[in-house]
Structure 1
Amino acid sequence: MHIQPKAVGRYPYRTVLVPVPLVAFVFALVTDILYWRTSVLMWQNFSAWLLLGGLVFGALAILAGIVDLLRPNSKYYRPSWAGALCYAIVLLLGLLNSFVHAGDGWTAVVPGGLILSALTFIAIILTLWLSAASPLSHEWRTLHD
């Protein structure tokens, strides 16, 4: 697959926002582990806020992705269906995890929230792997080296 020169300047908007929920959900796992090991309530609160921030930026990334679909020449930078599906699964796991973290005290994190955070992390790794394995990501890298 070859990218046409006029498409090179069309960097997708969603790529600015997609990393934010991924990083927020990874840090939510870290703060869940810290809460599990220390029982300091501050870590549960950090997890809840990280999950909320990840969900807000995830929704903004979806809106930016819709805008990208409507832009001319956007077909060159569309994610694969598998990558988009994995990203949606990450956001759904983050939403479910946020509902679990809305509970009170220890049972809001251990074990349910911690397990959901770990599952979200695994889904993030799969999403990143699918995105990096995309033929377009290889072509993009070779164009800008």
Structure 2
Amino acid sequence: MQISRTHRLGYPFQKLFVPVSLVSFTLALATDVVFWQTADLMWQNFSAWLLFAGLVGGALAVIAAIIDLIRPETRALRASVLEVLGFIVALLLALINSFVHAGDGWIAVVPLGLALSGATFVVILLTLVFAARAARTSNWSAQ
């Protein structure tokens, strides 16, 4: 029986928390679109809470990433520089978006909040592409 590479090395804690942010920010875009179409304030509140949840998850991911830097067994599975930069840009866009969503009514979401949610989503997609390429390259070099 062959032991997988993940079991031989320590699994990075950061990878446990990053999906919370990515999913929350993606759902915030969806709720912004629904608010844009319906003008129901409930959807604006959902967006604000999703942005908050994503920022909290992002803060936990940053703390976990710092812990992973200390752990030498996670060296081979750490995120690439492009992944880290993409995640930081997404967090900064979401933070600005959260401040925009703190406003009242229609102008808190349309057009700037919706544009920031869309930009955050695009950065997330690009970051996932970088992560997939890094994982594919890592798998090729491990074989």
TM-score by length of 2: 0.90
Alpha-carbon shift at residue 73 of structure 1 (Å): 2.0
CA–CA distance in structure 1, aligned partners of residues 116 and 38 of structure 2: 19
Query: What is the aligned-residue RMSD (CA, Å)?
Result: 2.1
Paired residues for 1:51-130 under 5 Å: 51-130=51-130
Identity within the alignment, %: 51
Deviation of 1:6 (Å): 9.2
Residue 62 of structure 1 deviates from its aligned partner by 0.4
The SS at the match of 1:11 is coil
- State the alpha-carbon separation in 2 of the partners of residues 45 and 135 from structure 1: 36
Instruction: Determine the structure 2 residue equivalent to 1:17.
Output: 17
Name the counterpart of 1:40: 40
Number of aligned residue pairs: give it: 139
The code of the aligned residue for 1:86 comes to G
SS at match of 2:116: helix
- Cα distance in structure 1, aligned partners of 2:34 and 2:134: 35
Code of the residue aligned with 1:20 in structure 2: it is V
- For 1:41, the aligned partner's letter is L
Indicate the residue corresponding to 1:31 in structure 2.
31
Q: Is the 8 A contact 2:9 2:73 kept in 1?
A: no
**What residue ranges of structure 1 are gaps of 5+ in the alignment?**
none
TM-score, scaled to structure 1: 0.89
Ranges in structure 2 where 5+ consecutive residues have no aligned partner: none
